[in-house]
């Protein structure tokens, strides 16, 4: 006979997107729910992040005149993801595409407000079913102060910590090019004005993932959903064939919490677990280059494996090319822009620099198996450096004295960075000849809508291409960074955990970065990760509550 300290229906382990959506949805479907978070703050990488979610056919698209459909979304999955096994089975894609829009509507009913990321194209816009105006949304500007004492218990957003600007993630491309058109100037001015106005009114203007998590936490408090911080999961309690509850550490002692309807693992990946990284990931991609929250340590995946769960796609991460400035890893936003290329130590390019961050790092790691490509080098000239007014990017790197090399000619630059000088000279010559006429026959930089979204609006005919020709020349090292790992526990279309025999582990659900993603080995659009986590958190809660299938939207 088990003894319990606390009894509830549905427990979310982890307070990122999946855990919070799961707890809210469970409560709305009539269950008692709670959130257990091991860190001192709520929100995980989701709160730290841009907070963008890639939700096909979402309810904000129609009113904005953006066409989408279930069929297009499924065609896009088929064309881009292809067959990668059970994590992205037809049933799981169907669940994601049908529940995604319903989850957004549900959150809106709960008071969570979103805006569209207009123009943030799908990352494979030319694939069947691709959407050029984009399927991504993010949390709307929100006053964090309404959280009262809970405000200090929320993980800060990265954007705010770095810029103190209440900008939307969907404005980053514009802010990068803020001096490049009147429209961009106005958008940048609007971001500064909204920040100032809110602060003057005594508000805390919260955007990005901080807004998404803050809004959900606010609702959870209103709905009396307990959210325990400093409460790491230690073990599962199994009764017969069913997960019946958890053991959690709280204030130095073990607390046994019963979950009558289900336990949801939403505990993120293992980006900061060196042992797991060594076992599962490319050895060149080390912990130091990860921007994931410090709680991303993988012990919940290890617990699931010990309990018999199957795993898949565990070598995957949400990769992003990363600069390290004063010891801090930062995502690079310059490679898409005109006048930059990325080369390996042989001086040669190896990818379309303006493709998705995940694709670029995968290409870097692949290339590194042939020739030294870690670090790779972002090469640019003085014209590019001067055009770069965006704070915190290139000028800050040089002023912070971080590793950025400068030389009067390409040969000297190559020598400084241990790059093959002939290779670099030949590559830059070749690139320049084509860039002058707006072409990139080698890799097609600037030739799709996603590339162009991040380019410089003033540069024509190809807004991602300009020759690299005005000395001095520069090289900045780029590393295979990540914002989290995204493979692990295998789940079915109801987010139920499967064991190594392919059977359902009753009472146990999982979502997000501790699972093998429905996106397979591709990153389909901005927000593919938080979408995967949040949608399957919603799916799990509905299933645990016995709710039926949603109508196809």
Ligand X SMILES: Cc1cc2nc3c(=O)[nH]c(=O)nc-3n(C[C@H](O)[C@H](O)[C@H](O)COP(=O)(O)OP(=O)(O)OC[C@H]3O[C@@H](n4cnc5c(N)ncnc54)[C@H](O)[C@@H]3O)c2cc1C
Give contact residues for ligand X (rule: CB under 6 A): 13-18, 36-39, 44-46, 48-52, 158, 169, 232-233, 266-268, 291-293, 295-296, 299-300, 318, 483-484, 512-513, 527-530, 533
**What is the C-alpha to C-alpha distance for residues 407 and 486, in angstroms, rounded to an integer?**
39
C-beta neighbour count of 349 within 10 angstroms: 23
Query: Is 363 within 8 Å of 350 (Cβ atoms)?
Result: yes
Give the nearest distance from C-beta 49 to ligand X in angstroms.
Answer: 3
**What is the C-alpha to C-alpha distance for residues 253 and 241, in angstroms, rounded to an integer?**
27
- Residue 125, C-beta contacts closer than 8 angstroms, at least 6 positions apart: 131, 132, 448, 449, 450
- Give the number of C-alpha atoms closer than 13 A to the C-alpha of residue 306, restricted to the C-beta side: 11
Give the nearest distance from C-beta 347 to ligand X in angstroms.
Answer: 31
Give the nearest distance from C-beta 57 to ligand X in angstroms.
Answer: 17
CB closer to ligand X out of 257 and 394 = 257
CB closer to ligand X out of 419 and 454 = 454
Give the nearest distance from C-beta 534 to ligand X in angstroms.
Answer: 7
**What is the C-alpha to C-alpha distance for residues 420 and 399, in angstroms, rounded to an integer?**
27
CB closer to ligand X out of 214 and 484 = 484
CB closer to ligand X out of 159 and 417 = 159
CB closer to ligand X out of 413 and 539 = 539
Burial label, 399 (beta-carbon count in 10 A; 0-12, 13-18, 19+)? exposed
CB closer to ligand X out of 5 and 411 = 5
Q: CA–CA distance from 194 to each of 17, 122, 184, 191, 204 (Å)?
A: 26, 28, 15, 5, 11
Give the nearest distance from C-beta 159 to ligand X in angstroms.
Answer: 8
What residue has token string 């790092």?
A: 361
Q: Which two tokens stand for residue 361?
A: 């790092």
3-class secondary structure for 337-379? Answer: CCCEEEECCCCCECCCCCCCHHHHHHHHHHHHCCCCCCCEEEE
CB closer to ligand X out of 245 and 512 = 512
DSSP 8-state symbol, 202: T
Q: Which two tokens stand for residue 228?
A: 């325990």
Query: Edge-to-edge, what's the strand order for the sheet holding 53-54?
Result: 53-54, 136-139, 114-116
Give the nearest distance from C-beta 35 to ligand X in angstroms.
Answer: 9
Question: Which residue number is nearest to ligand X in terms of Cβ?
Answer: 16
Query: Is 198 within 8 Å of 1 (Cβ atoms)?
Result: no
CB closer to ligand X out of 446 and 487 = 487
Give the nearest distance from C-beta 290 to ligand X in angstroms.
Answer: 8
Q: Is the dihedral of CA 347, 350, 353, 356 positive or negative?
A: negative
CB closer to ligand X out of 317 and 449 = 317
Give the nearest distance from C-beta 303 to ligand X in angstroms.
Answer: 8
Give the nearest distance from C-beta 514 to ligand X in angstroms.
Answer: 6
Q: Which two tokens stand for residue 241?
A: 């064939």
What residue has token string 């190559």?
A: 414
């Amino acid at each position: 006979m088990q003894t319990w300290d606390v009894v509830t229906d549905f427990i979310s382990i982890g307070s990122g997107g999946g855990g919070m959506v799961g707890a809210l949805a469970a409560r709305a479907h009539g269950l008692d729910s709670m959130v257990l978070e091991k860190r001192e703050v709520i929100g995980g990488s989701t709160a730290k992040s841009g907070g963008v979610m890639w939700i096909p056919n979402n309810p904000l698209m129609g009113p904005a005149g953006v066409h989408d459909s279930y069929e297009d979304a499924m065609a896009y999955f088929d064309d881009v993801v292809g067959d990668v096994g059970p994590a992205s089975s037809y049933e799981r894609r169907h669940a994601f595409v049908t529940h995604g829009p319903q989850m957004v509507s549900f959150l809106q009913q709960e008071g969570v407000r979103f805006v569209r990321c207009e123009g943030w194209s799908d990352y494979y816009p030319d694939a069947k079913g691709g959407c050029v105006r984009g399927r991504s949304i993010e949390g709307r500007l929100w006053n964090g102060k309404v959280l009262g004492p809970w405000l200090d218990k929320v993980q800060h957003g990265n954007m705010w910590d770095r810029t103190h600007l209440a900008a939307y993630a969907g404005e980053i491309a514009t802010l990068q090019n803020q001096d490049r058109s009147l429209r961009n100037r106005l958008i940048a001015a609007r971001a500064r004005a909204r920040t100032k106005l809110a602060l003057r009114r005594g508000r805390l203007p919260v955007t990005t993932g901080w807004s998404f998590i803050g809004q959900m936490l606010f609702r959870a408090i209103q709905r009396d959903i307990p959210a325990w911080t400093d409460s790491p999961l230690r073990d599962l309690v199994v009764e017969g064939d069913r997960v019946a509850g958890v053991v959690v550490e709280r204030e130095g002692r073990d607390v046994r919490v019963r979950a009558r309807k289900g336990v949801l693992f939403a505990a993120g990946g293992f980006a900061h677990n060196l042992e797991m990284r060594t076992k599962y990931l490319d050895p060149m991609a080390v912990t130091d280059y990860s921007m994931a929250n410090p709680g991303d340590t993988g012990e919940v995946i290890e617990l699931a494996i010990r309990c018999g769960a199957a795993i898949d796609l565990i070598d995957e991460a949400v990769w992003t090319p990363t600069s390290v400035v004063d010891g801090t890893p930062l995502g690079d936003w310059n490679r898409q822009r005109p006048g930059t290329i990325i080369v390996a130590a042989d001086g040669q390019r190896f990818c379309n620099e303006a493709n998705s961050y995940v694709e670029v790092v995968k290409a870097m790691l692949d290339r590194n198996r042939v020739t030294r490509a870690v670090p790779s080098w972002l090469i640019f000239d003085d014209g590019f450096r001067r055009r770069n007014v965006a704070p915190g990017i290139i000028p800050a790197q040089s002023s912070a004295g971080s590793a950025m090399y400068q030389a009067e000619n390409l040969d000297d630059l190559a020598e400084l960075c241990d790059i093959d000088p002939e290779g670099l000279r030949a590559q830059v010559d070749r690139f320049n000849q084509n860039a002058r006429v707006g072409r990139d026959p080698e890799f097609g930089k600037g030739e799709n809508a996603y590339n162009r979204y991040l380019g410089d609006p003033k540069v024509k005919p190809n807004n991602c291409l300009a020759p690299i020709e005005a000395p001095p020349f520069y090289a900045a090292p780029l590393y295979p960074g990540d914002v989290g790992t995204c493979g692990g526990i295998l789940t079915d279309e109801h987010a139920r955990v499967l064991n190594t025999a392919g059977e359902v582990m009753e009472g146990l659900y999982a979502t997000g970065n501790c699972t093998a993603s429905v996106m397979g080995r591709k990153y389909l659009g901005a927000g593919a990760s938080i979408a995967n986590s949040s949608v399957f958190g919603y799916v799990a809660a509905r299933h645990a509550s016995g709710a039926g299938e949603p109508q196809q939207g």
